[in-house]
Amino acid sequence: MEQRQLDPEGYENSQRAKSLRNKYGIGLEEYHRLLAYQGGACAVCLSKDHKGRGWHVDHDHQCCGRGVKTCGRCVRGLLCHNCNVNLVAGYEAIPKECRDSARLNAYLCMPPFRRMLSD
């Protein structure tokens, strides 16, 4: 029997841990710590519904380029599907001087992941 069938939750967690480590350079523990730090909600719209298949780990694309791999230090926060795909990506496409959302500026200047680490 595969681990998937014997222990679906453990399997799910180990897959998730692997993909977090590979893609974002953070572990499952940091992921859960960050989610708890954000009150279990999206860092931008504060929705407790991730509106997708799980929270998006948002990171600074300027830091490690366009690839999926990040160095782990530039993770910003956990976002719902809508904020990650529609809001933050679009917002970052606007020139800095035209960005007039206080909430998004606060998120981008001092993201929860960095706040959590400096606490």
| 80 part of the interface to Zn ion, by CB under 5 A | yes
Helices 28-37 and 8-24 sit at what angle, rounded to 10 degrees? 90
Q: Any long-range contacts for 57-62 (C-beta under 8 Å, 24+ apart)?
A: 57/20, 57/23, 57/24, 57/26, 57/31, 58/84, 58/88, 58/111, 59/24, 61/92
| 83 part of the interface to Zn ion, by CB under 5 A | yes
Which residue(s) pair with 78 in the sheet? 57
Of 7 and 49, the one with the shorter C-beta distance to Zn ion is: 49
Of 42 and 108, the one with the shorter C-beta distance to Zn ion is: 42
| 57 part of the interface to Zn ion, by CB under 5 A | no
| 74 part of the interface to Zn ion, by CB under 5 A | yes
| 38 part of the interface to Zn ion, by CB under 5 A | no
| 45 part of the interface to Zn ion, by CB under 5 A | yes
Q: Report, in Å, the least distance between residue 79 CB and Zn ion.
A: 5
Going 82 to 27 to 113 to 48, the CA torsion angle's sign is positive
Q: Which stretch binds Zn ion (CB under 5 A): 3-11, 74-82, 89-97, 101-109?
A: 74-82
